[in-house]
Amino acid sequence: MAASTRPALVGAFILGALGLGVAAILFFGSARLFAPTSRVVVYFSESVAGLDVGAPVTFHGARIGLVRRIAIRVSAARTGAARIPVVLELDTSRLTWEGGQGHPLDFERLVREGLRAQLALQSLITGQLRVDLDFHPDTPALLTGADVGMPEIPTVRSELDELRNELTGLHLRELFATAQNTLTSIGHLSNHVDTRLDGLIDGAERTFDTATDMFRTTREAVQQLRGEAATALRDIDGLAVDGRHQLDARSGDLARLFASADKVLTSANRVARQAELLVGSLNDMTEPRGQARESLEAALRDLAASASSLRGFSETIERNPNALLMGRAGHP
């Protein structure tokens, strides 16, 4: 009895553990089995190395879905031509129209508004990629037009692919060769510097010794000049003291000298004022229409008339001396 019930208990325990595991996955896991989803397809023109099934699909960093399938479609019309459709499964419960709950997503409208898919680096260490959805209204909507039964979202080049193209255009092999030649030149220069460094060190040592001797000589000269300068300053101080004593002794004489000079200056000012008055009088006399000049001219005219009368009288006396006694009437 006990042996027959043991397998049943073990089976019940295993079924209970599986049930608890499924419940935990449904409750705590990221997979939402009953969440509404929508599938869209994207075609990347660049390499999808690093993008695996199950990789996250994000919008502005928020996870909204996963990569469901990566397929290869070979074209029979063109030999060797193939396209890689990447099917994305989006959780539509995370994507809603603003102010329009309950309305299904219109991917054609979203594409017209600028919705694009782009590969992004998920892990820098492992190199795994993710698909990032974002709005790029300034990029053209390049659709393949393939009928796969689901909406298509255009793609844009990833930053990693642009960086890869830039590095490809840099001609890394030529840059590496140039860098190698540069390092070789630096090695030759280092060897050349090492061979000449000893001579430079010897020259530097000699220069240092010469500079040391020059500094020593300069210091001695400065000390000697310091002593001579101190002596000269003491002599100058003595001369200043003697000059001060002499000035104190001659202060009375200087005061009398300054008083005499003041008197001389006063007399000179008085003479200057008198000379100024004399010059003013002379100017008045020499002015063409001045009163002094007119009086002087009248006096000169009177003097000239008197001189003429005296001259006539003297001539009369010379001709007739009796005129002094008889007057002009006795003149014949």
pLDDT (tens digit, 9 = 90+) per residue, 61-77?
A: 889 899 999 988 776 65
| Domain ranges (residues) in the chain | 33-157, 287-326
Residues 82 and 67 sit within 8 Å (Cβ to Cβ): no
Total number of residues shown for the chain: 332
Q: Is 97 helix (H, G, I), strand (E, B) or coil?
A: strand
pLDDT at position 1 is 47
Local structure of 240: helix, strand or coil: helix
Distance CA 253, CA 276 (A): 34
Per-residue confidence (pLDDT) for residue 24, from 0 to 100: 60
| Residue with tokens 């009953």, as numbered in its chain | 34
Tens-binned pLDDT, residue by residue, of the chain (332 aa): 455 566 667 677 777 777 777 666 655 444 455 567 889 999 888 888 888 999 999 988 889 899 999 988 776 655 556 678 899 998 878 777 665 554 567 888 888 888 998 888 888 788 889 999 999 888 888 888 777 788 988 988 877 766 665 655 556 567 667 777 888 878 777 766 666 666 667 777 788 788 888 878 888 888 888 888 888 888 888 888 887 777 777 777 767 777 877 887 787 788 778 877 877 776 666 666 666 667 767 777 777 777 777 777 777 777 776 666 665 554 44
* Alpha carbon distance 55, 49 (integer Å): 12
Distance CA 64, CA 209 (A): 79
Q: Are the CB atoms for 36 and 93 separated by under 8 Å?
A: yes
Among the listed residues 117, 115, 121, the one whose alpha carbon sits nearest the alpha carbon of residue 51: 121
Query: Residue 237 is encoded by which pair of tokens?
Result: 């101080």
Cβ contact 128:139 at 8 Å: no
Cα(32)–Cα(94) distance, rounded to whole angstroms?
12
Residue 153 has a CB neighbour count (10 Å cut-off) of 22
Strand-strand pairing, 129-135 and 56-59 = parallel
Per DSSP, 119 falls in state E
Q: Which residues of 46-59 are buried (b: 16+ CB within 10 A; e: fewer)?
A: eeeebbeeebbbbb
- β-pair type (85-91, 37-43): antiparallel
CA distance 318 to 229: 102
Name the β-bridge partners of 116. Answer: 134
Q: What is the pLDDT of residue 65?
A: 92
Beta-strand ranges (E) seen in the chain are 37-43, 56-59, 62-70, 73-74, 82-83, 85-91, 115-121, 129-135
For 37, 157, 299, the CA distances from 47, given in Å and listed in that order, are 27, 10, 137
Phi, psi of 39, rounded to the nearest 5 degrees: -110, 135
Q: Are 75 and 82 in contact (CB under 8 A)?
A: yes
CB 135 within 8 A of CB 124: no
